[in-house]
A and B are shown apart, each in its own frame.
Chain A
Amino acid sequence: MKKGLTLQFVPYNEIGKLDSNSKIKKILKVVKDNKIVLLEGKLKSEEEAMLIQRTMEQIDRNFKGIEIATIEGKDEKDFIAVLKKNLARALLGDKFGLTIIGPASIVKEIKKDPNKIELFTNK
């Protein structure tokens, strides 16, 4: 029987008001259910470090870890473009950008450049 990939979109309003611990718990629960999380926005860098720590704590025979990538758009050099991007960041905060988090057993690699993400699967 063929198995498909499941992508679960998590809108910012579902996760933005949670504390860091609850956010990480929620993300890992979905990932450990063999789904790929498409998170609207991004985690704070401290939350990303916490996500790595929690992931390491939970690695076992079945769970090999995660692949993660955040995309925020390329670093602009044009003054107006930089201004627009900074304004968007200021207005949207952590809602700015998109984060993909998948189980390492399914997602082999996520390659990214500033405005493109390529996701390679194991199956």
Chain B
Amino acid sequence: MALKRFFNLLLSLFGKRKTIKLGFYGPVNAGKTSLANRISKDFTGEELGVVSKIPHETREIQIKEKVKIKKGNKQMDFNLIDTPGIATKIDYTDFIRHGLSQKESKERAKEATQGVIEAIKWLENVDCVLVVLDAAENPYNQVNITIIGNLAARKIPVLIVANKMDLKKSKIRSIESTFPQYNVVPVSALTGKNMELFYDELFRLVK
């Protein structure tokens, strides 16, 4: 143990520091991009992607490279990999209900299906994952179970982020009891609430 620490110290002093590929996964509109933006803004001053109430706003993988996250005396480089929300169905008429034209809706639906495929393919390319869930929604659904099951099968470390803790309807306990074998950290990516605790948990995940 002491030898490992000494080796890590040498590596951090003289070696090339590894950049962690951190994936943001979860269902649609859980706040993956909002969280990625919050982290990116905290440490680079820049946002990563556009956020919208219309589902499937993120339809391509978005990457912010070399984000140096610091917490206390800890520091690590991350590539933030924001992925499109995973869904099992996409109906273009849903977008029409959100005010898009028929042509825009069809285009968005087509891009969204490609986005889901890409997100699943990218599971091969991440070192660890934040599974971002909307704390106001029922966590016990098959999309969440499929995502977490696939990460477990690939032995990829996971931290569950219960986003939207600022909402009255949020039920953090429900997420904790659905996935008792995982650490769950409640945050509000919108307000920044609990982000300090989140960074502690993130360093615990990647150590």
Contacts and interface: CB of A to CB of B under 8 A. Distances in A.
A interacts with B: yes
Interface of A: 44-46, 48-49, 52-53, 55-57, 59, 64-70, 75, 104, 110-114
A64 B149 contact: no
B8 interface: no
A45 B90 contact: no
Interface in B43-65: none
Interface in B143-191: 143, 145-146, 149-150, 152-153, 180
22 contacts: A44-B153, A45-B149, A45-B150, A45-B152, A48-B142, A48-B146, A48-B150, A49-B146, A52-B87, A59-B89, A59-B109, A65-B90, A66-B89, A67-B89, A68-B142, A69-B142, A104-B89, A104-B91, A110-B142, A111-B138, A112-B141, A114-B140
B91 A64 contact: yes
Contacts, number: 69
Identify whether the interface residues of A are mostly helix, strand, loop, or mixed.
Answer: mixed
B86 interface: yes
Nearest to A70: B142
Kindly list the 10 A-B residue pairs having the minimum CB-CB distance in the complex, ordered from nearest: A65-B89, A45-B149, A104-B89, A56-B113, A48-B146, A64-B91, A56-B116, A68-B142, A45-B150, A59-B113
B87 A65 contact: yes
Nearest to B115: A56
A56 B150 contact: no
A44 B86 CA distance: 17
B67 interface: no
Nearest to B123: A49
Identify whether the interface residues of B are mostly helix, strand, loop, or mixed.
Answer: helix
Nearest to B94: A64
* Best-surrounded residue of B86, B109, B121, B149 (most CB of chain A within 10 A): B149
* Best-surrounded residue of B91, B116, B123, B142 (most CB of chain A within 10 A): B142
Given A49-B146, A55-B88, A113 B114 contact: no
Interface size class of B (residues with CB under 8 A): 20 to 34
Contacts of A66: 88-89
A59 B88 contact: no
B120 interface: yes
Interface string B106-132: 000100011011001101000000000
Nearest to A113: B140
B117 A57 contact: yes
Contact of B90 (A48, A64, A110): A64
B48 to A, nearest CB: 24
Contact of B146 (A52, A110, A111): A52
